Protein backbone atom coordinates (compact mmCIF):
# COMPACT_ATOMS: atom_id res chain seq x y z
CA UNK A 1 0.00 0.00 0.00
CA UNK A 2 1.13 3.53 -0.72
CA UNK A 3 0.10 6.24 1.72
CA UNK A 4 -0.28 9.65 0.08
CA UNK A 5 -0.13 12.46 2.66
CA UNK A 6 -1.23 16.00 1.92
CA UNK A 7 0.76 18.17 4.32
CA UNK A 8 -0.85 21.41 3.26
CA UNK A 9 -3.75 21.66 5.66
CA UNK A 10 -5.96 24.73 5.20
CA UNK A 11 -4.84 26.18 8.55
CA UNK A 12 -1.21 26.33 7.42
CA UNK A 13 -1.84 29.59 5.56
CA UNK A 14 -3.10 31.27 8.73
CA UNK A 15 0.32 31.39 10.33
CA UNK A 16 2.31 29.01 12.42
CA UNK A 17 4.60 26.38 11.02
CA UNK A 18 2.87 23.33 12.45
CA UNK A 19 -0.78 23.89 13.31
CA UNK A 20 -2.38 21.13 15.38
CA UNK A 21 -4.45 20.07 12.36
CA UNK A 22 -1.22 19.21 10.51
CA UNK A 23 0.09 17.28 13.50
CA UNK A 24 -3.12 15.25 13.64
CA UNK A 25 -3.02 14.57 9.89
CA UNK A 26 0.56 13.26 10.23
CA UNK A 27 -0.44 11.18 13.28
CA UNK A 28 -3.31 9.64 11.30
CA UNK A 29 -0.93 8.74 8.46
CA UNK A 30 1.41 7.10 11.02
CA UNK A 31 -1.49 5.14 12.50
CA UNK A 32 -2.58 3.93 9.06
CA UNK A 33 1.00 2.83 8.28
CA UNK A 34 1.29 0.96 11.58
CA UNK A 35 -2.06 -0.77 11.05
CA UNK A 36 -1.15 -1.86 7.52
CA UNK A 37 2.21 -3.17 8.74
CA UNK A 38 0.53 -5.06 11.60
CA UNK A 39 -1.68 -6.75 8.99
CA UNK A 40 1.40 -7.84 7.03
CA UNK A 41 0.86 -5.34 4.21
CA UNK A 42 3.95 -3.63 2.80
CA UNK A 43 3.76 0.12 3.18
CA UNK A 44 5.28 3.19 1.53
CA UNK A 45 4.82 6.92 1.86
CA UNK A 46 4.57 9.86 -0.52
CA UNK A 47 3.79 13.41 0.53
CA UNK A 48 3.95 16.90 -0.84
CA UNK A 49 6.10 17.97 2.09
CA UNK A 50 9.80 17.44 2.48
CA UNK A 51 12.43 16.12 4.86
CA UNK A 52 15.71 18.02 4.94
CA UNK A 53 14.92 19.60 1.59
CA UNK A 54 14.26 16.23 -0.07
CA UNK A 55 10.87 14.90 -1.20
CA UNK A 56 8.79 13.00 1.32
CA UNK A 57 8.95 9.62 -0.41
CA UNK A 58 9.59 5.99 0.43
CA UNK A 59 8.54 3.21 -1.95
CA UNK A 60 6.21 0.51 -0.59
CA UNK A 61 8.03 -2.41 0.99
CA UNK A 62 7.30 -5.33 3.27
CA UNK A 63 10.94 -5.62 4.30
CA UNK A 64 11.74 -5.53 8.01
CA UNK A 65 12.21 -1.93 9.01
CA UNK A 66 9.91 -0.50 6.31
CA UNK A 67 7.49 0.82 8.93
CA UNK A 68 10.35 2.39 10.86
CA UNK A 69 11.42 4.23 7.73
CA UNK A 70 7.91 5.57 7.15
CA UNK A 71 7.54 6.67 10.78
CA UNK A 72 10.94 8.40 10.75
CA UNK A 73 9.98 10.36 7.63
CA UNK A 74 6.69 11.39 9.19
CA UNK A 75 8.42 12.51 12.39
CA UNK A 76 10.78 14.76 10.43
CA UNK A 77 8.32 15.99 7.79
CA UNK A 78 8.03 19.64 6.89
CA UNK A 79 4.78 20.72 5.24
CA UNK A 80 6.67 22.60 2.54
CA UNK A 81 7.72 20.89 -0.65
CA UNK A 82 8.00 21.48 -4.38
CA UNK A 83 4.84 19.75 -5.64
CA UNK A 84 1.12 20.26 -5.44
CA UNK A 85 -0.63 17.27 -3.88
CA UNK A 86 -2.70 16.47 -6.99
CA UNK A 87 0.49 16.38 -9.10
CA UNK A 88 2.16 14.12 -6.53
CA UNK A 89 -0.78 11.69 -6.63
CA UNK A 90 -0.65 11.40 -10.41
CA UNK A 91 3.13 11.21 -10.75
CA UNK A 92 3.92 8.77 -7.95
CA UNK A 93 0.98 6.47 -8.65
CA UNK A 94 2.34 5.88 -12.18
CA UNK A 95 5.48 4.33 -10.70
CA UNK A 96 3.70 1.90 -8.39
CA UNK A 97 3.40 -1.82 -9.06
CA UNK A 98 0.09 -3.01 -10.41
CA UNK A 99 -2.24 -3.95 -7.57
CA UNK A 100 -0.84 -1.39 -5.12
CA UNK A 101 -3.58 0.21 -3.05
CA UNK A 102 -3.51 3.93 -2.36
CA UNK A 103 -4.47 5.40 0.99
CA UNK A 104 -4.92 9.17 0.72
CA UNK A 105 -4.67 11.05 4.03
CA UNK A 106 -5.89 14.64 3.72
CA UNK A 107 -7.42 17.49 5.71
CA UNK A 108 -9.46 18.68 2.73
CA UNK A 109 -10.38 17.67 -0.81
CA UNK A 110 -10.01 20.62 -3.17
CA UNK A 111 -11.11 20.25 -6.81
CA UNK A 112 -7.58 19.44 -8.07
CA UNK A 113 -7.32 16.51 -5.63
CA UNK A 114 -10.76 15.22 -6.64
CA UNK A 115 -9.70 15.34 -10.32
CA UNK A 116 -6.52 13.40 -9.50
CA UNK A 117 -8.56 10.79 -7.61
CA UNK A 118 -10.83 10.45 -10.63
CA UNK A 119 -7.78 9.79 -12.82
CA UNK A 120 -6.57 7.10 -10.40
CA UNK A 121 -10.03 5.49 -10.56
CA UNK A 122 -9.83 5.45 -14.35
CA UNK A 123 -6.44 3.74 -14.05
CA UNK A 124 -8.13 1.06 -11.90
CA UNK A 125 -6.15 1.88 -8.76
CA UNK A 126 -8.01 1.09 -5.54
CA UNK A 127 -7.95 4.19 -3.35
CA UNK A 128 -9.25 4.80 0.15
CA UNK A 129 -9.46 8.33 1.55
CA UNK A 130 -8.90 9.11 5.21
CA UNK A 131 -10.17 12.64 5.80
CA UNK A 132 -9.16 14.61 8.87
CA UNK A 133 -12.18 16.90 9.03
CA UNK A 134 -11.43 20.36 10.33
CA UNK A 135 -14.73 21.88 9.17
CA UNK A 136 -18.25 21.12 10.34
CA UNK A 137 -19.27 20.06 6.82
CA UNK A 138 -16.18 18.65 5.10
CA UNK A 139 -16.11 18.00 1.37
CA UNK A 140 -16.43 14.26 0.81
CA UNK A 141 -15.51 12.48 -2.41
CA UNK A 142 -18.47 11.80 -4.71
CA UNK A 143 -19.97 8.31 -4.55
CA UNK A 144 -18.01 5.82 -6.64
CA UNK A 145 -14.84 7.92 -6.83
CA UNK A 146 -12.94 5.93 -4.20
CA UNK A 147 -13.22 2.47 -2.62
CA UNK A 148 -13.90 3.94 0.79
CA UNK A 149 -13.79 7.16 2.77
CA UNK A 150 -13.15 7.34 6.48
CA UNK A 151 -13.52 10.56 8.42
CA UNK A 152 -12.03 11.53 11.74
CA UNK A 153 -12.85 14.90 13.24
CA UNK A 154 -10.26 17.30 14.54
CA UNK A 155 -10.70 18.17 18.22
CA UNK A 156 -8.50 20.62 20.10
CA UNK A 157 -7.71 17.91 22.65
CA UNK A 158 -6.91 15.17 20.08
CA UNK A 159 -3.42 14.56 21.49
CA UNK A 160 -4.82 13.71 24.94
CA UNK A 161 -7.36 11.19 23.66
CA UNK A 162 -6.80 7.45 23.92
CA UNK A 163 -8.22 6.87 20.45
CA UNK A 164 -9.82 8.67 17.54
CA UNK A 165 -13.01 7.51 15.90
CA UNK A 166 -13.16 6.84 12.19
CA UNK A 167 -16.57 7.02 10.54
CA UNK A 168 -17.52 5.77 7.11
Q: pLDDT band at residue 167, thresholds of 50, 70 and 90?
A: low
Residue 12 has what pLDDT?
Answer: 58
CA 101 to chain CA mean position, Å: 13
Residue 13 has what pLDDT?
Answer: 56
Measure the CA–CA gap between 46 and 84, rounded to whole angstroms: 12
Cite the beta strand spans of the chain per DSSP E: 2-5, 43-51, 54-61, 102-106, 127-133, 148-153
Instruction: Please report the DSSP string for 124-153 in residue order.
Output: T--EEEEEEE-SSSPPPPPTTSSSEEEEEE
pLDDT digits (tens, 9 = 90+) for 68-89: 999 999 999 988 888 999 999 9
Q: pLDDT band at residue 117, thresholds of 50, 70 and 90?
A: very high
> pTM of this prediction?
0.91
Q: pLDDT band at residue 161, thresholds of 50, 70 and 90?
A: confident
Please say if the pLDDT value at position 14 is more than 60.
Answer: no
Amino acid sequence: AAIFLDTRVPQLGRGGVAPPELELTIAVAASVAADLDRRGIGVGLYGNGSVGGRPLALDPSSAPGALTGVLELLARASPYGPRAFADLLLEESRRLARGTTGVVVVADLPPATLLALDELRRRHMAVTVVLVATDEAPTLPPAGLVEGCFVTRFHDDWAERDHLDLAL
